[in-house]
Structure formats: C-alpha cells, structure tokens
Structure 1
Amino acid sequence: MTPPVVRGIYVGIDLALPNRKRTGLGLINANERTYVVSTLSTKEEIIDVILRQSPSLICIDAPLGLPKRGINRLVEIKARKLGLKLIPPLLGPMRQLTMYGMQIANELRQHGFSVLEVHPTSTLKILGMDRQDFVKFITSRLRGPLIGNEHEVDALVSAFTCLLHDNGCTEELTGLEDEGSLIIPRSDCITRVVSHEFI
C-alpha cells in the first residue's frame, strides 16, 4: 500500500536508460528547506526512493507520450515555436527512452502519484539561467549535499519545476489526445523566482 503523499515534497527525475548509473534524482523538501540528490541505475531504485519519500508531485525529464504520427508530438511543435528545443520522442535512441519513461510514469501513477513531463533545459531557458546559475540559486536557498553531476542538476531543476507547478507558476503545452503534455514555467513568474518567493 502506498503511504499518503507529503505536501511540499517534490521529486525530479533526469531519466536515462537502465543499468547505466546515469539517472539523476533530485528531491526538494520545501517544508524543511532542504534538497537531496542521487544518481541511480534501475527502475527498481527509482520506485523504491519515491515510495519511501511519498512526494506530492513527480516531474520526469523524458517524453511521456507517443506522437499520433511521425516522430514529433504536437508538444514538440508548440515548444519550438517558443524557442525551446525538444528532441522528438521517436528519433533514434529517444524511442527507447520514451518507452522507458512511459513505463515508469505508469507504474508511479498506479501507486497513486501525480507524474508530469518536464524539460530542464527549457525550464532554465525560460528562467534565464544556466546550470551553474541554478546550482548557486538552489544552494543559497536550501540545505543539501554537494551536487555530483549534471544529471543531478537536471533532476533538481525538474523538482523545482514541480514546485513552481504546485504554486501555479507553470503552463502546459498540450499534445493531441493521448500524446501527453509538457509543463514549463510561466515567463511572468521569473521575478517571483528571482525574489525567492517560492523557497
């Protein structure tokens, strides 16, 4: 049985294919003003961490839906019109990652968790930050360990996108039916982020 979710806890996953020790996981606890990061390898590790933490929201950096036709979803087309560059879900190796992401998202939803698709590079672009800027920002506001690699940075960016979403500071780029959608920050929230309104 899945324990009840804990409000104010957000998990971000920078997904890589299994058994490569490249999946970054970041957790933001807004209640305690802390963060945790780790680099994982398998689906079982990801599910286990999430079941133990019971976050109120999970944001995954991977396509969580398939296009109705071609290699792009309407999501990718809408994102490009905003100057955001998403890799098509069915382009080369992305096909395998997309299927893996959908599998993990479905299992987490079966446990009762809310799961959203995000894209850390797009989040950072909208917020006017690069990875280094974000690390300075998050470590100045929250207590946590050293961040070991870019996968953990992107996972924390994903978790932060979850936090923004929970505070009504995102918009949704929707695809066709069953294609999924992408959550990105609202540009009019940048000043609220900079002023540390959320953390």
Structure 2
Amino acid sequence: RKLPGAAGAADEGAADAIRELEEQLEQATQSLRAREEESKAAEKRGQALNSKLRRAQAALAQARAEARRHAEAGAHQDQELRDQVASLSSELDRARRKLKRAGKRHEEDKADKAARKELQEDFERRGTELYKMNDKLREAVERADLLGKALAMQADEVEQLRKHVGEADEWRAKCDRLSMAEAAAAVG
C-alpha cells in the first residue's frame, strides 16, 4: 500500500536504493566468483609449472651427475693410459737390456720396432677412446646448459603466476569489503 505524499515518495526512493544496492551486490558477487575461478585456474597452472620445475631440476641434477661421471671416467682412463705407457716403456727397456747382453743387435732392433709399433697402436687406440669420452662429456655439459636455461624460464613463469594469484587475492578482498559496505548501507 502506497503512503500518500512525501512519506510515499520516500518509501519508493528507499526501495529503489535497495534494488540498486542489490544489483550492485549481485554484480560484485559475480565478479568475485569470476575472480575466484581465475585464481583457481592460475593456482593450477602454478602447480603444474612447479611440477615441471621440479622435473627439470631433477633432470638437471642427473645431467650434472652424468657429466661428473664422464669427467671422472675420462680422468681414470687417462691415468690408466699413463700407467700402461709407463709399463710398456719399462718392458721395452728390459727387452733392450736383455738383447744387448745377448749381443743380438739385429734381434734387438726387430723387437724395438715391434714394441714401438705396438706402443703406437696402443696410443692411437687410447687416443680414440679419449676423444669419444670427451665428446660424451661435451654433450652432457651442453644438455646441462640447456636444462639450466629451461629451468630459468620456468622459474620466471612461476613468478608471473604468483603475481597473478596475488592480484586475484587483492581483488577478492576488495570485493569482500564492497559487499560488507553495501550490506551495511542496505541495513542502515
């Protein structure tokens, strides 16, 4: 029932104000829901990137360990080669002394040539193995560098997503404050 005169107009004005506040509250609520959905999606993307980041870190650690193993294996083979060269040199010296004492210069020359040839072949074989090992080590280092770059890029993406989540949280807090203010205004 409409009240006559100024009282009726005041009631209609209050009703209009309440409807307007209700519409604003509904819009703010919808906006908040949309922001919450965006925040959830951003959080999921952040979790996925964190998972990728952990996998990349594990792969990087594995590549570094592999590079260390290759380096250690190369150093070990290098030492083995030195030991074998020293052993062959000692054997060669002993053979020379033995042939010299026997007075068989011709046999000594033949043995010396055979030993030199064997030593040369061993050097070439070991050299080829070391080149192959160095190639593997270089590849492992390159893989570690690539993984490090990918890791840095993924860390940047995670930081951007964290910023977006923070902005969504701020917007949600603003919407909450607006809803509380509008509710207080409606009650008042």
Which has the larger Rg?
2
The answer, yes or no, to whether TM exceeds 0.5 is no
Structure having the higher strand fraction is 1
Higher RCO structure (Cα 8 Å, ≥6 apart): 2
Which TM-score tier does this pair reach, normalised by the shorter chain?
Answer: under 0.3
Structure having the higher helix fraction is 2
Q: TM-score, normalised by structure 1?
A: 0.18
